[in-house]
Structure 1
Amino acid sequence: MLELSMRKSACGSAQQALGRKATTRSMGSFLFSAATERDVERAAPDFGAARLLISYFDAQAAGRRIKELLGNDEYEKRRPYIEAALRGEHVTFERPLSLNGRDRHLQIDYVPEFDCSRRVVGILALTQDITARKQKEARLESEALHDSLTGLANRQLLADRISLAIAHARRNRSAMAVLYLDLDGFKEINDTLGHDAGDSLLKRVGERLVAAVREVDTVARVGGDEFVIALWQVGGAGDAARVASKLVKAVSKPCDIAGRAVKITISAGVGMYPAHGKDAATLLRSADRALHAAKRVGKNAYRVFDGAPLASA
């Protein structure tokens, strides 16, 4: 049951009550404390399952009362919405909030209330805690862009990052590089030690690759034992080759997997923008060809693509 302390108007409190009840019911079930014309309500310690707080502000004092409640900084950020509500607009927006040391996310509705002359006489503020929803959305977005096993970027995110790096290099008339890497003999280790050990090894390799490059670079897992790294602005092929050499050495160090010292090696191919391709697909093909050249010379090595630029896809 809903109980609101209603502000009487020239049109009578019943019409106002029906309007508020319809608005609040449309928002779902909730707990709240009532507000009067002179007293901004306070939230109960437990907002309830839907975490919805209702506040009412008289139009004549709305700016002052809301400012007292929010503080100057937050008030200035919400001022456009408050002014829109006072003009008679229903506005909905979202705001982050730090509450008792915890980061929360709020959805806020400012609903104008009118008298019989359609003059705004107050603002009904509906504040809902949507932190759980935002966390779920962030989790789903992350899952859509990252490899589920290693947490590294997936193909979709990699393509975006390569495109961004190319655009940056084009604007700055500089170079960027794509490195295609593949573990040597991974199938044998997977078959010998089992898939759980193989998964642990892939995660360890991913960690070593991330540790060996800059934060601005992107490390992605694009297949079973295949990785691709997009190197943001580099000085040239020599710089990219030095990074490739560093990666090969980092991965080759033994690591403990399921109580056993396991040694794995990796081969790498390097494709350079703009020398070896001017789009993501062409650069990936160039780097993949260089990777196969590294495999042919005995693995545990890297090669820079040395052919003519490939045609764009």
Structure 2
Amino acid sequence: MDRLTSLTLFMRVVERGSFTAAAHDLSVSRPAATAAIQALEQRLGTRLLQRSTRHVQPTEEGLLYYQRCQSILTALEEADSMIGGALSGTIRVDTVGHLARTILLPALPDFFSRYPGLNVHLGEGERLVNLLREGVDCVIRGGPLPDSDMIVRPLGVLHEVTVASPAYLAQHGIPASPDDLDGHQMIAFLSSRTRQVLPLEFTTRNGLVERLIPARLLVSGAETCVEAARLGLGLAQAPRYRFEEDLVTGGLVEVLSDYPPAPTPLSLLYPSNRQLAPRVRVFMDWARELFSEFFRQHTP
């Protein structure tokens, strides 16, 4: 294995915390990965990785070496692109599933046309992943963000609505205000971050108020919550774009429109301690352009 490949492999082992995961990412065998790192440590005359049965982490020398390798490989990628070489490699992105299917996927042919040498690994999730540990370059998340050492780039704001099915409203009535929810039910959504049920939110002249009303159904998936609303199982709140087709066809009805939920900020995040490779930078620029256009089209 040549030196450049060995450096790339070493960085991936540090980021993934696993020889097996790093070997899989770079399409090499586990024994070949182990042998390459051992040869690298022998050449340098120092141990770079501390191995245990569950995890691999860099030693103090290994962390310094990782940071230096990161600068070298990023500079090399930038040099290649400056001289006219096409960008190549895989960008690992993690985002909310519906955003991936509704916004990113339809636009990816344009991205691939612009950058034919780039591939995208698109993961789906709600939690704030450990980017280094899981080998992710950047994530797109909605809502308030916990304190972290990641850099945050705002993408825009998702406007939220409260909806219910016609059948549900025929049975329970149409509430006139947030204080008119006696006898109503909500579809309780369990946050993957806090493991708590999210209350319904309403913006009033006195500020934001929250209401926890009875719920017979508790869900932890956004798609399940939307489908439950269609089936008449309770009031639900989510970004308006999630319900656009249902609101047009009459499958769902917006209620309490004078008391909208708080809007949800959408953000792009990446590690502050990692130099952005050109391939990641062009994806992030493209994504910000894409979401900027989306918000222009979906602002009430």
Give the TM-score of the pair, scaled to structure 2.
0.24
Q: Please identify the structure whose Cα radius of gyration is greater.
A: 1
Give the TM-score of the pair, scaled to structure 1.
0.24
Higher relative contact order (CA 8 A, sep 6+): 2
